[in-house]
Amino acid sequence: MERETDVVIVGTGAAGLFCALQLPESKKITIITKDEAENSDSFLAQGGICVLRSEDDYDEYFEDTMKAGHYKNNRESVAMMIRSSREIIDLLLEYGVEFEQRDGKLIYTREGGHSHPRILFHEDVTGKEITGKLLEQVKKRRNITMYEYTEMIDILCRDNICRGIVVTDRQGKTAPVWAEHTVFACGGIGGLYCHSTNFAHLTGDGIAVALRHGISLQDVNFVQIHPTTLYSEKPGRRFLISESVRGEGAVLYNAKMERFVDELLPRDVVTSVIERQMKEDGKPYVWLSMEHIDREDILGHFPNIYKRCLEEGYDVTKECIPVVPGQHYFMGGIQSDLEGRTSMKCLYAVGETSCNGVHGANRLASNSLLESLVFARRAAVDILSEKERPEQFSEAELFQPERYFDVEALRRENQELVKQEIERMKQENEQ
């Protein structure tokens, strides 16, 4: 593995890949990921990506985002995300991303919490379409080297300056990767939960490193539970039933087959009502019905959901499916500004592992992909604008191999650190 690079990026989700693509080919870029490159939560995103359709919708889009976030959002970040959305979509189209169209025009759908249809989508696998096309572009770049099954276990730093990361590979070999700039795009925290829509290997590594090195965090108690995941007694990741299903007319029923909630309310509200209903029913799930959606629309818009439910024994065109809330998204994270800068010099954080305040206390549906791309691009631009080279340190000063003799123990400690911090901030917030 290469020991020196200009920029090292941790993560192959939409944020990490997009950040790499915004940097010129004169920059040597190294990307690492704990698993296969495709196994990021960005690939799992079903619903879509928001975009400001016209100036007439700006105020309501802004208000929808603020309302969903319980007005704990950073207003400047929200404005930046919305204003940048069209530019991001244009770039995605240039990279070959295909959104649904009719008669040569883009089709927009609506999800919970949105006052108008403003979401572009690709069937029910929008994340796979976007992130897959970004990965194709990254693989074409000669200046970008990607290492799978390579895990960040620490950073190289001194005097609050980040000089790279410490990694371990699948053989257990630990090594430093020196870089002028480091970008954390290492995803969420789903692996810390029994019921989650996330990949199990996403365990908040960036948050743990931040805690160990005094890097500022923000709102780590803001953890989003998605109201509708497919109920199963099997262990492992829960399959998400996209919000856009409810946006297109699906309804929720209790054990008596009575509708009990407005399905288009923000996620946390719907989740709370479902949990209350399950307790009242004495059941570990409620029912979701697509009876009000035409069969052709289900097969055309939600083919992946249809197929997966069929594999579990449910034909959504003919019957209800059992759904249950599950951990879905992390709104908190490493504190970052509008350029993705953290409290440590030369260290950036983008995507789900960062927190610039866009989402507030609860993310509005389909804002995650947009937010990740907007601020990943801004981080890349900021990296290029830096002209001052930070102080250099010797390897012996920053890398002590003996600290990493038991990587498995370090992983356990890191996961416990993150869980304790989430709980601490929850209790602090409740007081």
Catalytic residues: 267
Q: What does the alpha-carbon distance between residue 97 and residue 122 come to, in Å, rounded to a whole number?
A: 9
Place of tokens 């009000």: 292
Question: Is residue 186 a contact partner of residue 333, using CB atoms and an 8 Å limit?
Answer: no
The DSSP call for residue 345 is: B
State the virtual CA torsion across 286, 287, 288, 289 in degrees, nearest 10: -160
Q: What does the alpha-carbon distance between residue 334 and residue 327 come to, in Å, rounded to a whole number?
A: 19
Under DSSP, is residue 259 helix (H, G, I), strand (E, B) or coil? strand
What residue type is 270 in one-letter code?
V
> Structure tokens of 259?
């509708």
Instruction: Give residue 220's Cα distance to chain centre.
Output: 14
Closest CA to 50 of 97, 109, 118: 118
Task: List, in order, residues 6 or more apart from 349 with CB less than 8 Å away.
Answer: 183, 184, 185, 206, 333, 334, 335, 336, 340, 342, 355
Sign of CA dihedral 29, 34, 39, 40: negative
